[in-house]
Amino acid sequence: MALVNEHFLKLPGSYLFSDIAKKVNAFKVTHPGKNLIRLGIGDVTRPLPPVCIEAMHRAVDEMANAKTFRGYGPEQGYDFLIEAIIKHDFASRGISLSPSEIFISDGAKSDTGNIGELLRWDNSMGITDPVYPVYVDSNIMCGRSGTLDENGKWSNVTYLPCTEENNFIPELPKHRVDLIYLCYPNNPTGTTLTHEQLKKWVDYALSNDTLIIFDAAYEAFIQEPNVPHSIYEIRGAKKVAIEIRSFSKTAGFTGVRCGYTVIPKEVTAASLDGQRIPLNPLWNRRQCTKFNGTSYITQRGAEAIYTPDGQKQIKETINYYMENARIMREGLKKAGFSVYGGINAPYIWLKVPEGMTSWKFFDQLLYEVNIVSTPGVGFGPSGEGYLRLTAFGQREECQEAMQRLQNWI
């Protein structure tokens, strides 16, 4: 008989956002007349930039004609997109990358989930806490996380708490770990690391031979100077870091699906006999075997983001969301809350009232002011006592939500 991968059976029954969806549906059934404002899931609401629409229409037309039709594309992505990425996202910041170091994908979630395949199942890992659930869940699936203890922590995972007490800046692990996930600007706390703070991590990785998976999905929201846009702005990072990017939030691609992963040629892991194995060709082999490239139409849409008009258009949308964030930060402060994030990220991290749990306050917001949020504990043990709100909503709804909260308090 076929035996099941027993690690899957250790997983919590459902994904955080499905639990929230169930609660919201139950509320809607029992309160049909109520006008819900959704500030929970991190999905965008503004339409795609016009340049992307035009580029995708052109690409669709190419597919209608045998002369311009495109079949299988390169599993690694088309050169036209890779070259635009290198030029705009890296060369402009003094980072030199070659085309074969970039892998276009159908989104950062796929890459974040699959990248662990390159490593042995028994590497130790570290995560900042709270964190995007995919980092831990994808590692549970291959047995790397170990077993779950009664405090909701996995035995082979080192948790690096990010709380009000340390201003959401994680401390370096006390013992070494093989693998660490960092996400900056951070989901869910909305906080960032300065150049100096990120340098500590790269230095840690260099001296401990640790591999960093750097998730930069929210890079486009950075407003302040001295916040690195790429980990490769830090000297030495090319030896120890894989960087994952996404067009989902940058340009509204959550439903179109495109992202990319950077694996510099210098990044290696060790074999059991101590050889250094470059990870770039291994990821290439993985993608060539288990992936068949991203839709041509999508890649043409993504390419358009890098035109001067595209850059202007995405900036407008990002400004729209960041103005939402400003309104929410001020509204929440006025209502008496302690708020974090929302300056270089579309997420606002809110302290729940003393003595309450995340889920309790989530329920209260849902039932008393009809606002959907995300309970912080869903992102990890140190998220308990916090709540995430996103700035991706409609302006009027953000304003209305703040009004409701101020009246309610």
Q: From the CB of 226, what's the least distance to its own copies, in Å? A: 29
Q: From the CB of 214, what's the least distance to its own copies, in Å? A: 14
Residue numbers 368-397 binding its own copies by CB under 8 A: 394
Count the alpha carbons within 13 Å of 365 in the hemisphere toward its beta carbon: 29
- Interface with its own copies (CB under 8 A), residue from 82, 84, 102, 211: 211
For residue 343, which phi and psi values (nearest 5 degrees)? -105, -45
**Is 159 part of any known ligand binding site?**
no
Q: From the CB of 353, what's the least distance to its own copies, in Å? A: 30
Measured CA to CA, the distance from residue 66 to residue 77 in angstroms comes to 21
Contact at 8 Å (CB) between 349 and 380?
A: no
34 in contact with its own copies (CB under 8 A): no
Q: From the CB of 34, what's the least distance to its own copies, in Å? A: 22
Q: What are the residues facing 339 on neighbouring strands?
A: 350
Query: Mask 311-350, x = binds its own copies (CB under 8 A)?
Result: ----------------------------------------
Query: Mask 92-121, x = binds its own copies (CB under 8 A)?
Result: --------------xx-xx--xx--xxxxx
Q: β-strands 157-161, 102-105: how paired?
A: unpaired
Taking the alpha carbons of 399, 404, 405, 409 in that order, is the dihedral positive or negative?
Answer: positive
- CA 346 → CA 170, 192, 324, 379, distances in Å? 20, 12, 9, 16
Whose tokens are 């036209």? That residue is 80
Q: From the CB of 144, what's the least distance to its own copies, in Å? A: 11
Residue numbers 116-145 binding its own copies by CB under 8 A: 117-123, 133-134, 137-138, 141-142
285 in contact with its own copies (CB under 8 A): yes
The token pair at 321 is: 């969301």
Taking the alpha carbons of 135, 132, 185, 80 in that order, is the dihedral positive or negative?
Answer: positive
Q: From the CB of 68, what's the least distance to its own copies, in Å? A: 8
Q: From the CB of 373, what's the least distance to its own copies, in Å? A: 17
- Interface with its own copies (CB under 8 A), residue from 32, 33, 35, 66: 66
**Is 132 part of any known ligand binding site?**
yes
- Interface with its own copies (CB under 8 A), residue from 10, 24, 265, 291: 291
**Closest to 251 (Cα-Cα) out of 213, 223, 221:** 221
Which range, of 157-165, 279-287, 321-329, 376-384, touches its own copies by CB under 8 A?
279-287
The token pair at 311 is: 């850059």
- Interface with its own copies (CB under 8 A), residue from 22, 61, 99, 195: 61
**Is 109 part of any known ligand binding site?**
yes
Contact at 8 Å (CB) between 329 and 338?
A: no
CA dihedral of 393, 398, 401, 405, whole degrees rounded to 10: 130
Query: Mask 227-266, x = binds its own copies (CB under 8 A)?
Result: -------------------------x-xxxx---------
Q: What is the largest CA-CA distance in the chain?
A: 67
Environment class of 69 (CB within 10 Å of its CB; exposed 0-12, middle 13-18, buried 19+): exposed
Report the amino acid identity of residue 334: K
65 in contact with its own copies (CB under 8 A): yes
Length of the chain equals 409
399 in contact with its own copies (CB under 8 A): no
Measured CA to CA, the distance from residue 199 to residue 186 in angstroms comes to 16
Q: Which DSSP category does 373 fall into?
A: -
What does 217-258 look like in DSSP terms, one character per residue?
Answer: TTGGG--STTS-SSGGGSTTHHHHEEEEEESHHHHSGGGT--
**Is 249 part of any known ligand binding site?**
no
Q: From the CB of 98, what's the least distance to its own copies, in Å? A: 18
**Is 344 part of any known ligand binding site?**
no
Residue numbers 293-312 binding its own copies by CB under 8 A: 293-298
- Interface with its own copies (CB under 8 A), residue from 277, 395, 403, 408: 277
Residue numbers 161-200 binding its own copies by CB under 8 A: 178-179
Annotated binding residues: 15, 42, 72, 108-109, 132, 187, 218, 246-248, 257, 292, 388
Annotated binding residues for substrate: 15, 42, 109, 132, 187, 292, 388
Annotated binding residues for pyridoxal 5'-phosphate: 72, 108-109, 132, 187, 218, 246-248, 257, 292
